[in-house]
Amino acid sequence: MKRMPISLREEQHELLRREARRRRTSVASLVREAVDRVFPDELEQRRAAHRRSLAAVGRFRSGRHDVSERHDEYLAEAFLADLEKR
C-alpha cells in the first residue's frame, strides 16, 4: 500500500471519523472504499454496461415488423434524417 497525505475540511474529517467508528473500521479503510466506488475496475464497468444494455432489450416498439432484416437501412435513414435537421 501507498501512503498519501490528504487535506480534508473539518466537517469531512468528522464525518469520516464518526462513520469509521460506527462501522468499527479505520478512516483509511473508508477512504479506500470510496475511491473504489468512484473508480470501479474496467471489468466491472463493462459488466454494468452489459447489464444496462440487456435491460433495454425489448422495451421499445418501432411499429415495424422487419427490423431484424432491415436494421441497417433503418439506421441509415435515421442518420440521414438527423443530419438534415442540422
For the full predicted model, state whether its pTM sits above 0.75: no
Q: Specify whether the CB–CB gap between 59 and 49 falls below 8 A.
A: no
Other Cβ atoms less than 10 A from the Cβ of 15: the count is 14
- Whether residue 13 lies inside any domain: the answer is yes
- Whether residue 14 lies inside any domain: the answer is yes
Q: Specify whether the CB–CB gap between 32 and 25 falls below 8 A.
A: no
What average pLDDT is seen over the chain? 91
- Whether residue 76 lies inside any domain: the answer is no
Our count of domains for the chain comes to 1
Q: Which domain holds residue 24?
A: 8-42
pLDDT in tens, 7-46: 999 999 999 999 999 999 999 999 999 998 888 788 788 8
